[in-house]
Amino acid sequence: MTDKTASRPEETASWKKLTALAEIATQTHNRERVGETDRFEKYSIRVGSLLVDFSKQRIDRSIFEGLVGLAEESRVLDLISAQMTGEIVNVTEHRPALHTALRTPADAKLTQVTQDIEREQDRMLQYAEAVRGGERNGFTGRRITHIVHIGVGGSHLGCELACRALNRSGIEIRFLANIDGAATTHALTGLDPETTLFVIVSKTFTTLETLTNAHAARTWFLERTCDKTAIASHFVAVSNNAAEMTKFGIASVSQFKLWDWVGGRFSLWSSVGITIAIAIGAPEFRKFLSGGAIMDEHFREAPIAENIPVILALLTIWNSNFLGSQSHAVLSYDSRLRTFVEFVQQLEMESNGKAVHADGSTCNVHTSPIIWGGEETQGQHAFHQLLHQGTRTFSADFIATVDPEHNHPDHHRWLLANCFSQSQVMLYGTANQARDSTKVHEVVSGDHATTTILVDKLNAEALGSLIALYEHKVACLGMIWRINSFDQWGVELGKRLAREIYRALGSPDSESSDGPTEGLVRTIRDRTTSPFNDGDD
């Protein structure tokens, strides 16, 4: 992973070859490529319950071979093996990135890790089953009907995604992530303390948002129950920091371990997924893990030209490094996946939003594109206008389900018709329409690169495979760009400055170090109707 003798990506022979291919490729509209025989069969791959169709990408055989050559030259298959067998791939924090061990049957080299995982996984799943089955109830004996999951970033987004997609338990699950009193009030409104379980998830157990909300929840709970011993039945926590969990008052039986070799944004497979496990039960949670394992095996074993996470990574590189695409949209044509884009956004942008290589040298090529998107078809009535007629270049993933498992077949038919027609427009534009009837303001250029992922049924196994697909794509991008996808130092400076401004907001004498910020702080101090007390926390 850290081989300093290897070339930077742009110095490889494949990168140079692709640069030459891109010059020709940009002169050809994609509609001229896609007419080839068996295009769909050539450029689509099935893994488990996912069908990934990349036939609308701006590639032909020689470009595809050039991209495969880049992955080979980057020794991607060796690097995948290194990552999955526990080599130190997170070099700045000197850690492996072993989230795959949480779901893939044991690797011989990882016996100790596997034993730890199994022990903790069994404990967590037993706890979840006890909550679901009514053996672990609130302090007055009533069953748990509501969960408030408190966590942010990787300790939140995956859990919310999976719970929104799969929760059929009847237990209402609320997510509290933001440091915004309005969100805290909203999350607690109408809850009955006797039937509410608070799940606090924080790898560090020091994160401002999570700890502030956890303390607010505990205060809310104690004001209503007036019984400190009741906390044991209503607060459960997952962290790498046992001392802080204990200090907060979490009973040892309700503490679950997260290892330092699991990055936050890759952690939902661990006890971080306890909320998911309560929502879907232990057998389904195991299917979720095996869905991830199906993709792990494919990622480790499939040759590069058939390896779908590697191909998606190569297409990202082709679109953004060679064809100048500035952003990538993730468009979910299934409401149950409406927060999928937020999950992928953290996964991709926090992992690969880097400007230095793993060896510390500066990147001369762009790394992660900006990831955004939303729930469809709403986006079609909001931002698709820019996609169709704007001046920006982008690529997009369309995600839809074959069998929606509801009783509105005509809705589904329309949903799929919209999904497929949008990628059709993004490919062909108005080119196939009668020329003389298309006025200049109606012209749509097309020629945008899209991938469509069809999920057979959105069950636990399929969701596991889908999430693992994106995880591996992200890791593979890091391997080719030669960056460390597993740290996130860029977020630290903002956290430190927020602490300084927090102090300035509460004390009239303190000044912020810069004029513009001082102006904002002064405005708040002058105009707020409820001044902050110095030392408020």
Binding site for ligand F6P (CB under 6 A): 152-155, 202-204, 207, 210, 264-265, 350, 488, 491
CB of 268 vs ligand F6P, minimal distance in Å:
11
Please say which residue, 155 or 401, places its beta carbon nearer to ligand F6P: 155
**What is the rounded end-to-end Cα distance, in angstroms, of the chain?**
43
CB of 368 vs ligand F6P, minimal distance in Å:
15
Please say which residue, 353 or 506, places its beta carbon nearer to ligand F6P: 353
Q: One of 381, 406, 439, 441 is an active-site residue; which one?
A: 381
CB of 490 vs ligand F6P, minimal distance in Å:
9
Q: How far is CA 31 from the centre of its chain?
A: 32
**Catalytic residue at 495?**
yes
Edge-to-edge strand list for the sheet holding 146-150: 172-176, 146-150, 196-201, 235-239, 255-257
Cα dihedral 338/300/121/205 (nearest 10): -60
CB of 148 vs ligand F6P, minimal distance in Å:
16
Please say which residue, 215 or 522, places its beta carbon nearer to ligand F6P: 215
Please say which residue, 48 or 263, places its beta carbon nearer to ligand F6P: 263
Tokens standing for residue 311: 């191909």
Is the distance from CB of 327 to CB of 449 less than 8 angstroms? Answer: no
CB of 160 vs ligand F6P, minimal distance in Å:
13
Is the distance from CB of 272 to CB of 238 less than 8 angstroms? Answer: yes
Count of residues in the chain: 537
Q: What is the 3-state secondary structure (H, E, C) of 68-102?
A: HHHHHHCCHHHHHHHHHCCCCCECCCCECCCHHHH
Is the distance from CB of 451 to CB of 399 less than 8 angstroms? Answer: no
CB of 452 vs ligand F6P, minimal distance in Å:
29
Closest CA to 471 of 15, 102, 143, 4: 102
Closest CA to 343 of 110, 106, 162: 162
Closest CA to 176 of 241, 232, 220: 220
Question: How many other CB atoms are there within 10 angstroms of residue 434's CB atom?
Answer: 7
* E runs forming strands in 191-234: 196-201
Write the DSSP string, 335-389.
Answer: GGGTTHHHHHHHHHHHHH--SB-TTSPBPSS--PPEEEEEETTGGGGTTHHHHHH
CB of 218 vs ligand F6P, minimal distance in Å:
17
Please say which residue, 152 or 230, places its beta carbon nearer to ligand F6P: 152
CB of 243 vs ligand F6P, minimal distance in Å:
14
Q: One of 350, 376, 461, 471 is an active-site residue; which one?
A: 350
Please say which residue, 153 or 446, places its beta carbon nearer to ligand F6P: 153
CB of 264 vs ligand F6P, minimal distance in Å:
3
Please say which residue, 202 or 512, places its beta carbon nearer to ligand F6P: 202
Per DSSP, the three-state class of 178 is coil
Tokens standing for residue 420: 């497929």
**Catalytic residue at 439?**
no
How open is the CA angle 458-413-36, to the nearest 5 degrees? 90
**Catalytic residue at 350?**
yes
484: phi > 0 → left, psi -120 to 50 → alpha, else beta; which?
beta
Q: One of 228, 408, 411, 495 is an active-site residue; which one?
A: 495
Is the distance from CB of 469 to CB of 309 less than 8 angstroms? Answer: yes
Tokens standing for residue 265: 């944004």
Strand partners, 44: 53
Active site residues: 350, 381, 495
